[in-house]
């Protein structure tokens, strides 16, 4: 018994590389330094969150090793930006790398461009040639050890399609990096505006759209490596690019990128936990829906009857409905031509998928892989959305004196939760699979989108912070 235990422990330590331990030391040192320097400005809850974040970050870096490089690059770039400001936000227009790269607005604009570029390269690769799709037995294998050949258990190859998809993947990583740099620097900038204004940047629609984009992409990139296929990037990046399209309109036309003071109800440490957990749910639900969309295309690629191709043309209708919904609310008065262009591009994408569905289906992973990614995405999202709902109830009790008030946002959050609870129940108890599970995931995206954005557009209530 003792020998077995010793062997297990040796095996666990053997999997830790020198870089793992260096990363753990850097994260621990940085966290303890921040705690020592800033603890007078933090309440007891914020101290607990900071101390808990140290082992959590180390574990994440060890669990998925690309996060180590991501965290170190983001940290170094954010520190460079902070040092360059020297406490004066006016330097954002004077220092070259702040003006063009590292100020929060510059970094987020780079994020937007890179996400669009990533989507284009994924689609170039997706349509650029034939490739054998991975099957589930290989996908379920453990990831290759550190230092293993690149071809072992990882997507890639030597064809044009492989090269384009590889570029798309790397650009997606760059976009996530710029999003996180922009988020960290924006956090610093808010504190420089005024001590009563500084806050974690997850408080309005502009900030949470940035959060949604990088979280969704990060989860996709994990599945990309885990299942050794980049074929789903073309689909997942569509929903990310749609979010970026909204973000750009919200920035350029509505001027929503300006940092604003928090309303009293948001001046709480609960926000640091509730909002990120909520958007892990939103992001993974969106990822699952796009995988479900790919599943239905693969399943119905040879169909010629228009009603059997409903997933594709309904996508076009849904995307083109966005400008109509915005005009109904009167927000299209500013940037009306922008939404016309948005609708035109959406229609072209839907038409392209419709015409190229057979070629697309041939390059998609096996049904088992699509089904497994969809299930795991929903399972992760449901877990975090449940946590976010509980945290939201505790926050409501702290802010308004009651755990639940049937506010429109709360009601629709409950509908989202019940929808995915039912999906998982049917999956685990009744073996839900195939087209029904995929259609259900797509409907779930519509429900989630209304809970996220539609409530702000068409309803009002205690949660009406992110006005359009």
pLDDT in tens, 46-65: 888 899 999 999 999 999 99
E-strand stretches of 242-383: none
Q: How far is Cα 171 from Cα 244, in angstroms, rounded to an integer?
A: 15
Least confident of 255-269, 298-312, 328-342, 398-412: 328-342
Spatial separation of the C-alpha atoms in residues 143 and 285, rounded to whole Å: 24
Give the per-residue pLDDT at 100: 94
Position 142 scores a pLDDT of 43
Which residue, among 156, 158, 154, has the nearest Cα to 141 in the 3D structure?
154
CA distance 380 to 372: 12
CA 89 centroid distance within chain: 29
Average per-residue pLDDT for the chain: 83
* Tens digit of each residue's pLDDT (9 = 90 or more) over 381-399: 999 999 999 998 888 888 7
Distance in angstroms (rounded) separating the CA atoms of residues 239 and 446: 12
- Over residues 290-319, mean pLDDT: 72
- CA nearest to 171, candidates 116, 242, 230: 116
Instruction: Tell me the per-residue pLDDT of 420-429, one tens digit each, with 9 for 90 and over.
Output: 999 999 999 9
For 143-152, 354-363, 381-390, which range has the lowest pLDDT when averaged over its residues?
A: 143-152
Please, are residues 210 and 104 in contact by the beta-carbon 8 Å criterion? Answer: no
Domain boundaries, the chain: 31-140+154-458
Work out the average pLDDT over 109-120: 96
Work out the average pLDDT over 164-193. 95
Which burial class, exposed, middle or buried, applies to 450 when counting CB atoms under 10 A from its CB (0-12, 13-18, 19+)? middle
Residue tagged 């780079």 (tokens): 110
The reported pLDDT for the residue numbered 285 is: 96
Distance CA 136, CA 91 (A): 52
What tokens were used for 302? 């040879």
């Amino acid at each position: 018994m003792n020998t077995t235990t010793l062997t297990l422990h040796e095996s666990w330590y053997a999997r830790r590389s020198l870089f793992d331990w260096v990363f753990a030391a850097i994260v621990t040192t940085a966290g303890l330094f921040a705690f020592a320097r800033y603890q007078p400005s933090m309440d007891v809850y914020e101290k607990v969150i900071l101390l808990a974040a140290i082992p959590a970050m180390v574990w994440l870096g060890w669990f998925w090793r690309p996060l180590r490089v991501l965290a170190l690059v983001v940290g170094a770039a954010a520190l460079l930006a902070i040092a360059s400001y020297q406490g004066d936000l006016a330097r954002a227009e004077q220092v070259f790398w702040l003006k063009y790269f590292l100020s929060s607005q510059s970094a987020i604009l780079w994020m937007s461009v890179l996400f669009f570029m990533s989507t284009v390269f994924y689609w170039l690769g997706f349509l650029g040639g034939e490739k054998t799709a991975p099957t589930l037995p290989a996908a379920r294998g453990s990831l290759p050890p550190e230092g293993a050949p690149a071809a072992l258990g990882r997507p890639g190859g030597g064809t044009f399609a492989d090269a384009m998809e590889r570029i798309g993947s790397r650009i997606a990583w760059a976009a996530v990096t710029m999003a996180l740099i922009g988020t960290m620097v924006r956090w610093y900038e808010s504190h420089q505006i005024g001590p009563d204004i500084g806050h974690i940047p997850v408080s309005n629609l502009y900030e949470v759209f940035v959060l949604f984009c990088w979280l969704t992409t990060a989860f996709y990139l994990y599945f990309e490596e885990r299942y050794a296929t980049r074929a789903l990037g073309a689909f997942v990046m569509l929903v990310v690019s749609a979010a970026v399209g909204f973000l750009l309109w919200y920035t350029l036309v509505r001027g929503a990128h300006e940092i604003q003071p928090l309303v009293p109800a948001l001046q709480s440490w609960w926000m640091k936990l509730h909002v990120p957990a909520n958007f892990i749910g939103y992001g993974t639900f969106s990822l699952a829906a796009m995988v479900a969309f790919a599943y239905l295309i693969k399943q119905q690629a040879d169909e010629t009857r228009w009603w059997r191709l409903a997933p594709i043309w309904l996508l076009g209708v849904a995307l083109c409905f966005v400008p109509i919904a915005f005009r109904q609310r009167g927000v299209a008065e500013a940037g009306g031509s922008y939404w016309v262009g948005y609708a035109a591009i959406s229609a072209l994408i839907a038409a392209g998928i419709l015409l190229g569905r057979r070629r697309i289906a041939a390059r998609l992973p096996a049904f088992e892989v699509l089904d497994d990614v969809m299930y795991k995405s929903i399972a992760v999202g449901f877990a975090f959305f449940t946590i976010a709902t509980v945290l939201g109830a505790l926050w409501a009790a702290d802010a308004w004196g009651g755990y639940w008030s049937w506010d429109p946002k709360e009601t629709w959050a409950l509908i989202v939760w019940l929808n995915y609870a039912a999906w998982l129940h049917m999956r685990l108890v009744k073996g839900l699979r195939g087209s029904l599970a995929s259609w259900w995931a797509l409907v779930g995206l519509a429900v989630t989108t209304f809970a996220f954005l539609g409530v702000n557009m068409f309803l009002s209530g205690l949660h009406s912070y992110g006005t359009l």
